[in-house]
Structure 1
C-alpha cells in the first residue's frame, strides 16, 4: 500500500511539475524585467538613496525579486495599498486591477510603476507587462514617465512593444 501511495505521489508531482516550473519561470522573468526597468531609468528629481521594491498581488514575483536583488536592497510584499508610502518601485499584479484602492498608487508620486494588464496600465502606470504565448513583452508610457521626472534609456525603449 505504501509503495502504491509513493508511486502515485511521484506520478502526480511529475504531472504538475512542468506547470509549476513555467509559473516560476514567468515570475522570474517579471522580476528580472522589473529590476532592469529600474537599472535603465533615472530619477531626475530627488533620486532615492536606496530603492525600495514593493510587490503587490504576486508572492512568486516577490520571491523571485528578493532572490535576485543584492542583500542591501529592500523588498516589501504589500498586503494593502496603505503600506506603499516608502516604495520607490511598485509592481501591481493583474488581479489588483479590479480591487479598489490600488489604482491611486499609480498617480504621480516619484515612484516607478510597473503593472500587469492593460487596465492598470491605462490608469497611469509607466510600464505595462503583456503576457503572450511563450514570452512577456512590455509597453511604456514615456509621456507619463517624463512628467513624473524619469529619464528612460533608449536601449530599453527599443525593446518595448509599444511606446505611448
Structure 2
C-alpha cells in the first residue's frame, strides 16, 4: 500500500498506530486514513458544552463510500466518552451531533448544513476543498504530497470548541 502522507500527515499519523492501513485499494485506504484523522481530531477537541452521559455523537453525511470506515469508529474512546456513529441525510439531524463529517462538494449544500447548525458546539470536518471555502472548522485536503488538514480556528472558537495546540501545529494552515 502506498501511504500518501505529507509531513504534517506523518506527524499526526504517528498517533494512529492502531489503524492498520494494509491490503485494500487506495480509495479504501484513503477513507480509512480520513476516519483515523477524524477520530484524532475528536480526541484533540474540547467542547464548551456536552450532553450528559458518556457518549460523543459523530455524524457523517455525503461521504460517497466512506460511511463504513466512519462506522468502524463506533465504540472508540474520546477522552472519557465513547464514540457513537450515525450516518445522516438531513441537515436538521446534525443538531444531535458533536462531530459532523461532511463529504458534500456543492458549496450551497455545505452552507445549508452549516446554517442549520447555527452556533451549536459541533466540530464540523469537511472532506472536500469546497468545505474549507464554505467555513468548516477543519478541512481534510488531498494534496500532491498526501492528505493534509487546515483549521479555521475562528469557526471552532465561535462554536465554543477548543483545539489542542498540538493539532494547530500540525495543520497545513490555521486561520
More helix by share: 1
Distance in 1 of aligned mates of 2:134 and 2:156: 13
Distance in 2 of aligned mates of 1:107 and 1:98: 16
Unaligned runs of 5+ in 1: 1-19
Higher relative contact order (CA 8 A, sep 6+): 2
Q: Which residues in structure 2 correspond to 1:90-101 (within 5 Å)?
A: 90-99=100-109, 101=112
User: Which of 96, 107, 113 is the aligned partner of 2:124?
Assistant: 113
Shift of 1:46: 1.5
**TM, length-normalised to structure 1:** 0.77
CA RMSD of aligned residues (A): 2.2
Shift of 1:82: 2.6
Unaligned runs of 5+ in 2: 1-23, 77-81
Q: Which has the larger radius of gyration?
A: 1
Shift of 1:135: 1.8
Match of 2:158 in 1: 147
Distance in 1 of aligned mates of 2:108 and 2:27: 22
**TM, length-normalised to structure 2:** 0.72
Shift of 1:106: 5.5
Match of 1:31 in 2: 35
Shift of 1:148: 1.8
Q: Which residues in structure 2 correspond to 1:54-93 (within 5 Å)?
A: 54-70=59-75, 73-93=83-103
